[in-house]
Chain A
Amino acid sequence: DQQVKQNSPSLSVQEGRISILNCDYTNSMFDYFLWYKKYPAEGPTFLISISSIKDKNEDGRFTVFLNKSAKHLSLHIVPSQPGDSAVYFCAANSGTYKYIFGTGTRLKVLA
Chain B
Amino acid sequence: NAGVMQNPRHLVRRRGQEARLRCSPMKGHSHVYWYRQLPEEGLKFMVYLQKENIIDESGMPKERFSAEFPKEGPSILRIQQVVRGDSAAYFCASSQRQGAVSNTEAFFGQGTRLTVV
Using a CB–CB distance below 8 Å, which chain A residues touch chain B?
A: 6, 31-32, 34, 36, 41-46, 49, 51, 89, 91, 93-104
Q: Is the CB of A44 within 8 A of B91?
A: yes
Q: Is the CB of B111 within 8 A of A101?
A: no
Among B33, B35, B48, B105, find the residue whose CB has the most chain A CB atoms closer than 10 A: B105
Q: Is the CB of B43 within 8 A of A44?
A: yes
User: Could you tell me the distance between the alpha carbons of A89 and B42 in the complex, rounded to whole angstroms?
Assistant: 8
Question: B22 to nearest A CB, angstroms?
Answer: 14
Q: Is the CB of B105 within 8 A of A96?
A: no
Query: Chain A residue with minimal CB distance to B59?
Result: A98
Q: Which residues of B contact A31 (CB under 8 A)?
A: 102
Question: B109 to nearest A CB, angstroms?
Answer: 5
Q: Is the CB of B42 within 8 A of A43?
A: no
Question: A33 to nearest B CB, angstroms?
Answer: 10
User: Which of A34, A89, A94 is within 8 Å of B105, CB to CB?
Assistant: A34
Query: Chain B residue with minimal CB distance to A92?
Result: B102
Q: Is the CB of A99 within 8 A of B100?
A: no
Given the known inter-chain contacts A43-B110, A44-B91, A97-B56, please indicate yes or no for A103 contacting B102, CB distance below 8 A.
no
Mark out the residues of chain B between 38 and 96 whose CB falls within 8 Å of any chain A CB in the assembled complex: 41-45, 48, 55-56, 91, 93
User: Could you tell me the distance between the alpha carbons of A63 and B40 in the complex, rounded to whole angstroms?
Assistant: 26
Q: Which residues of A contact B6 (CB under 8 A)?
A: 43
User: Could you tell me the distance between the alpha carbons of A51 and B104 in the complex, rounded to whole angstroms?
Assistant: 10
Question: A41 to nearest B CB, angstroms?
Answer: 8
Q: Is the CB of A49 within 8 A of B105?
A: yes
Q: Which residues of A contact B111 (CB under 8 A)?
A: 41-43
Q: Is the CB of A43 within 8 A of B91?
A: yes
Question: A109 to nearest B CB, angstroms?
Answer: 21
Q: Is the CB of B110 within 8 A of A42?
A: yes
Q: Which residues of A contact B41 (CB under 8 A)?
A: 103
